[in-house]
Amino acid sequence: MLTADYAAAMPDRVELSTSNVRTDDWPAQATDSIVKVVGTVQQKVTGPVTTIARGIVFGTFALVLGAASFALVIILAVRVLNNYLPDAVFGENHVWAAYMIVGVLLCIIAIVLWTMRQPKHAEA
């Protein structure tokens, strides 16, 4: 247990090699040092981690929205083609023709994109 005599015997200054440090403001200095270290660590560690996490979240969100939009566009194309295909040419039940036209268009787009790709150069 600390007594009043012990507290009275404490010096006001602590002598270090060449500098004098006041003992009455060391808690504030320690707190400032801790705050600076934590701030630096936070900027160097959590900043890039937060950026990466945001990229993953927004990328996943964009991928889901893109896939849903693509599916809805395909559904719209099939429905529009089904409504406007002539019954005299394809018969009364011509949903198959709408699917075939959309499928052929998608295959043509895929072939064009496939021929535009740049193959990897093999290093031997």
Token pair for 14: 């602590």
In this prediction, the residues of the chain whose per-residue pLDDT falls under 70 are 1-23, 122-124
pTM above 0.75, yes or no: no
Tens digits of residue pLDDT in 87-117 = 888 788 889 999 999 999 999 999 999 999 8
Ordered by start, the domain boundaries in the chain are 24-116
For residue 39, which of 31, 18, 93 has the smallest C-alpha distance?
31
